Amino acid sequence: MKQVVSVSLGSASRDFEEEATFLGEPFTLRRVGTDGDYAKYNALLREWDGKADALCLGGIDRYVWSDGKQYEFKDARKLIEGVTKSPIVDGSGLKNTLERETIRVLADEKRVNFAQLKTLMVCGVDRFGMSEALVAQGGPVVFGDMMFSLGINLPIKTWKAHRFAARTLLPLLTQLPFKLLYPTGDSQTTTTPKWGEWYRWADVIAGDFLLIRRYLPDAVGEPLAGKTVITNTTTPVDRAELKQRGVRLLVTSTPRFGGRSPGTNVLEGVFVALNGGKPLTENGYQEMLARLSWAPNVEEL
């Protein structure tokens, strides 16, 4: 049985262990949260190095992309020190393909008419493929990178402005402690209402679920009623909360196991394990998705 292990900077309360079969191969998928403990994170990666068919970086990106250029987070580079045997993935290789396809399928099947709807993408550099696909649909898109990651009240309203901000700031931001940009440990479990104007403005809210939940507005006025959420890493508890808040449609790009949708890092780990531990090209990911008869998980709440 192949082992795919995701070590996360996030809360251990979101841990899981599931068995699944892909292309006839049995897998154990495991998530181990470290509650923001960097030393424990590296120790766990070393412990599983050579035992896991793929090691997945959870709760942190190793790479982000903008205009075809790759930027590596300094903290991620430190976390993988001494890990030399098992292949390491962070989901960024798969995001470009999987999340573009998610938007295309939703539009082609007329499940979501993006051209006529307003979309809030909470962090575009973290979902570069999805961001480009949303812009290509022609509807208004607001990027919340400055608000949701940096706490700065500066919505980005054009793709050109987003690309400029990314290439200007990413060389600096990737050198900062990751916890300044993204919730880790216990901070993943707290919600501080903020940016309510943009939650209310949007018909579609897309991107990382922990960033979406981090600033969810108070339920007064039902700000999420009737909206579509496109995300990942949701648990049954998350699904219940979104339903209670009135979300109409929940879309995840990864399949559900035991009621939860794992991050793209886990699914990328599966693909690399199926490929004998070797990295895949974009065409390789597309071929693998086709072989698995992949489709986004679309759920009416």
Please check whether residue 286 lies inside any domain of the structure.
Answer: yes
Q: Are residue 246 and residue 99 in the same domain, yes or no?
A: yes
The single residue listed with the structure tokens 């993006």 is: 114
Please check whether residue 257 lies inside any domain of the structure.
Answer: no
- In the chain the first and final C-alpha atoms are separated, in Å, by 35
Q: Are residue 103 and residue 243 in the same domain, yes or no?
A: yes
Residue 219 has pLDDT above 80, yes or no: no
CATH number of the domain within which 161 lies: 3.40.50
Please check whether residue 76 lies inside any domain of the structure.
Answer: yes
pLDDT by residue (tens digit) across 11-54? 888 888 999 999 999 999 999 999 999 999 999 999 999 999 99
Q: Are residue 151 and residue 189 in the same domain, yes or no?
A: yes
Q: Which is more confident, 68 or 173?
A: 173
Q: Are residue 136 and residue 184 in the same domain, yes or no?
A: yes
And the tokens for 134? Answer: 């949303």
- Length of the chain counted residue by residue: 301
pLDDT by residue (tens digit) across 263-288? 899 999 999 999 999 999 989 999 99
Domains in the chain: how many in total?
2
Residue 261 has pLDDT above 90, yes or no: no
Q: Are residue 56 and residue 164 in the same domain, yes or no?
A: no
| Mean pLDDT confidence for 97-109 | 95
Domain assignment of residue 8, given as a range: 2-91+262-300
pLDDT by residue (tens digit) across 161-198? 999 999 999 999 999 999 999 988 777 778 899 999 99
pLDDT at residue 123, as a whole number: 97
Please check whether residue 121 lies inside any domain of the structure.
Answer: yes
Residue 221 has pLDDT above 70, yes or no: no
Please check whether residue 104 lies inside any domain of the structure.
Answer: yes
Please check whether residue 205 lies inside any domain of the structure.
Answer: yes
CB atoms under 10 Å from CB of 254, counted, come to 26
